[in-house]
Structure 1
Amino acid sequence: MAAEEVCTTQKAAELLGISVSSVQQLVEAGVIEAWKTKGGHRRIPLAAVQAYKSAPQAGTQAAQAASPQRRNDTVQVLVVEDNPMQRALYQRQFAMWGLPIAARFCENGYQALIEISRLHPHVLLADIVMEGMDGYEMIKTIFGYPELAGMNIAILSGLSPGELEERGGVPPGVVFFGKPVNFDELRGYMRACCAQQARPPA
């Protein structure tokens, strides 16, 4: 590949208007293609940068999820995450998996509770540490509504096991994924949720 067809992490960050660390996160998550030279310097194809820049954003799936006509074969997913970079990572992973999911994104627990009452999503992926209502308080509130008992809930957090225990541990029936998220594991979980939704009711 010619030198003019690749760029550094710094240049990719400038082209995308994001930080170098954000570009590194996208590369490590496999969202943007890259490789390392023998000297250990990361190189990114300009085509990969442009593809990321022009890819559809979360609004497309958000609009699908907000549609009043819920398709029976579509799994409604609500992601509660206050970090915009992390939301972008989830969005692009979902797009690559090809699963029948429609995702909406919220920045905090208050927004999430409003969306849950309106949409009754099948899957909730929630961060814990957020401004205002944190993930634990949000999940505790959800547990107070029997009509939401069938929702699949997963916590995605960078908290250590000890910090989680200090907050009460992982609630019964809730799945935990540590950050940085292993997207292969998360994809397996989402595939299981899709398979569960596809099964006819007993």
Structure 2
Amino acid sequence: MQSDTYTPSQPPLDHCTTLEVAKMLGMAVRSVQLMVDRNELEAWKTPGGHRRISRASVERWISARGHTGADNATPPVLAGRENVSAKRHPSPSVKAAVGVKQILLIEDSVHFQNLVGLIVQQHFPGVVLHVANDGIAGLAMYGQTQPDVLIVDILLPGIDGATLITALRSQSQFARSHLIVVTSLDEEQREPYAFALQGVQVIHKPRLVAELPAALSACLQSPKASS
């Protein structure tokens, strides 16, 4: 069981493989290749012929997508742009400063942990992002952080997301948190978990880049997240 604030396990390289970018963005590898061909992403080839894509260009694409995505969401501005990344704390037991918003992401996929981290860095640089890798760690970290927004994947090791949501709803402090569910499951595949998803915003992972910034903006600006 492992939990931590959002920090990649190793310092991120300045480039990614095509497959890594595809997984981060929830796209097919061919779609990423076409983006490179259209000069939407900066790329080059190694002496061995392997394509490498600039991480900075991926971050710029995510930022631009938040401004001009399919839903034409208004870009959220909740903190000073002088901060270049999401504020992080070395341990979830260290409370954020008074008035600083917190997000807890419970997600076992490193690719989607990094993708949510990039979105928070780009759009909410003053927000603290905590990450738990499984449902059991997530339950413990929720009690420590009592976040303004909780983002949960349905398919988790330890405790699945639906069971975790049900457990948290039995706790009085859960009333102060907004809930967003992210999943790779389509609507039919979600049916077994429907008991926990009533009234909950669900974002399909292929739509994460387009939909999560606006969803987080609405949650973080809500009085519920300030109570």
TM (norm. structure 1) is: 0.71
Matches within 5 A, 1:53-68: 61-63=88-90, 67-68=94-95
For 2:205 and 2:212, the matched residues in 1 are separated by 11
Task: Give the aligned residue type for 1:192.
Answer: A
User: 1:55 corresponds to which residue?
Assistant: none
User: 1:93 corresponds to which residue?
Assistant: 119
5+ residue gaps, structure 2, are 1-12, 45-51, 58-84
Are the structure 2 counterparts of residues 27 and 126 from structure 1 closer, same or farther at C-alpha, using a change threshold of 3 Å? closer
Number of residues of Structure 1 aligned to a counterpart in Structure 2: 177
| Cα deviations by residue, 1:17-55 (Å, 9 ceiling, x for unpaired) | x654112344678xx9x94437xx986246972648xxx
SS in structure 2 of the partner of residue 79 of structure 1: strand
Are the structure 2 counterparts of residues 140 and 28 from structure 1 closer, same or farther at C-alpha, using a change threshold of 3 Å? closer
For 1:170 and 1:188, the matched residues in 2 are separated by 23
Are the structure 2 counterparts of residues 173 and 43 from structure 1 closer, same or farther at C-alpha, using a change threshold of 3 Å? closer
Matches within 5 A, 1:111-190: 111-190=137-216
Are the structure 2 counterparts of residues 99 and 184 from structure 1 closer, same or farther at C-alpha, using a change threshold of 3 Å? farther
For 2:188 and 2:55, the matched residues in 1 are separated by 41
User: 2:219 corresponds to which residue?
Assistant: 193
Higher helix share: 1
Larger radius of gyration: 1
Q: What do you get for the CA RMSD once the two structures are aligned? A: 3.6
CA positional deviation for 1:179 = 1.4
CA positional deviation for 1:75 = 1.6
For 2:41 and 2:211, the matched residues in 1 are separated by 27
SS in structure 2 of the partner of residue 85 of structure 1: helix
User: 1:83 corresponds to which residue?
Assistant: 109
User: 2:22 corresponds to which residue?
Assistant: 24
Are the structure 2 counterparts of residues 183 and 42 from structure 1 closer, same or farther at C-alpha, using a change threshold of 3 Å? closer
Are the structure 2 counterparts of residues 117 and 26 from structure 1 closer, same or farther at C-alpha, using a change threshold of 3 Å? closer
For 2:135 and 2:23, the matched residues in 1 are separated by 25
For 2:170 and 2:154, the matched residues in 1 are separated by 18
User: 1:3 corresponds to which residue?
Assistant: none
Please say if 1:49 is aligned against 2:75: no
